[in-house]
Structure 1
């Protein structure tokens, strides 16, 4: 749950603002499915990505991170989209210092951690946007960062760029325990899903599942629009 100090946010953290809604319940269902997929293995790092921009991966990653924290786990949410970061908007935090400060300038982990306002959830925003994101994410310093955070948290969630835009998410998928792919009803093209499948197979990613976002529920005339803002 949230701390007493009211948190201001710029995006839809519905798991907090409307916990009894159908959308919040769907988030908890996703959490349960992830936990079920992780049941026989120790998963510490999860990657959230999409096929292209605007499919809702960032807000989904944020809400699911909050949901795991509400479930009693110690969670770290990392904005690993070093080209178009959004987490600082979501939680109304400064973008710097962040991950790139650690990767480029040897800042310590304690220097870049941010209080999310949610009990059990810490944040690492992007930091200054670098000229070489893929190289930084594949660096030895990044591997050291993973090793350090894995020892401190129950779960680390990375919000990565779309898979078909740049190589960043593919690099992270290779080192994360599990990958969750976010697609959007009416936006994601079938041909792109086939391309993503090839990319994930090439990176030896362990795909835990695919989330279909913005799906229209005809039966009761509900519109499940989880995320109406573009990333």
Structure 2
């Protein structure tokens, strides 16, 4: 276990991604991810949420780091979790977890791979990964295909929770498409980086397709007294 943790930590440091929920689970930020997990679970009292899209309004706002750490906390709870890199333009998950990316989501959606060929085990118990695969020339077309719907249906039979790391809402239409075939969307909003105008526009774009926006996570929040960076979760109502 120590060697696996060190190997994943080395990958995280190399690519500048912080998987703190795995490398330092007693950290206060890791505890905040567990709080977010609980809050999202309580958000879905009427209907169990099995598939969640994590997105942001613009690039480089931390949605991949948040979705990856959230997936780890859910797997730690004993759930069988699968993390999908549905950002077919700027994929990162294969780098974060040190996985091969020669075969992934784009291969399956284009009909060049079977489902069992694209699911990879991670270094974390109960957490599985579908990487993006090679960057295709037609990401939106693949994301909007019937094969994606079939993929989610099949994965839903085998896994307790599907977590989709998707592109920013304001840059491409992919996330709007994903929002129509999943149970909920979580917006990642970095303090001091995301503008109110961009966040409002992203929210309105998701509402146009009747997305179930279950909440927002404000990350990179500086706590005045301690100086550390944390997160706050809020539900859209």
TM range (shorter): over 0.9
Find the partner of 1:168 among 160, 165, 174: 174
More displaced stretch, 155-164 vs 34-43: 34-43
Query: What is the CA-CA distance between 1:79 and the residue it aligns to?
Result: 0.2
Structure 2 counterpart of 1:115: 121
Q: Distance in 2 between matches of 1:154 and 1:109?
A: 17
Partner Cα distance (2:226, 2:127) in 1: 35
Find the counterpart in structure 1 of residue 214 from structure 2: 208
- Structure 2: 5+ residue runs without aligned partners? 232-237
- What count of residue pairs does the alignment treat as equivalent? 224
Matches within 5 A, 1:2-13: 5-6=4-5, 7-8=7-8, 9-10=11-12, 11-13=17-19
CA contact (8 A) 2:223 2:230 kept: no
1:29 aligns with 2:35: yes
State which of 222, 227, 235 in structure 2 corresponds to 1:222: 227
Contact 1:80 1:159 in 2 (8 A): yes
8 A contact 2:63–2:165 mirrored in 1: yes
Given the alignment of the two structures, is residue 197 of structure 1 paired with residue 230 of structure 2, yes or no? no
What displacement does 1:225 show? 5.6
Report Cα offsets for 1:174-194 as digits up to 9, x if no partner.
111010000111100011111
| Structure-2 separation of matches of 1:222 and 1:21 | 14
RMSD: 1.4
Q: Which runs of 5+ in 1 are unaligned?
A: 227-231
Residue 62 of structure 1: CA displacement? 0.6
Shift of residue 4, structure 1, vs aligned partner:
6.6
In structure 1, C-alpha distance between the alignment counterparts of 2:61 and 2:93, rounded to whole Å: 15
* Separation in structure 2 between the aligned mates of residue 222 and residue 17 of structure 1, nearest angstrom: 21
Deviation per CA, 1:35-81: give whole Å up to 9, x if none. 11122212111000000011100011011001000001000000000
2:130 maps to which of 124, 135, 145: 124
CA distance in 2, matches of 1:162, 1:171: 12
Is 1:53 paired with 2:47?
no
Q: How does 1:126-141 map to 2 (within 5 A)?
A: 126-141=132-147
**CA 5–195 in structure 1, closer or farther in 2 if over 3 Å, else same:** closer
Task: Give every structure 1 segment of 4 or more consecutive aligned residues whose post-TM-superposition deviation is greater than 6 Å.
Answer: none
Report what 1:93 is aligned to: 99
- 1:105 paired with 2:119, answer no
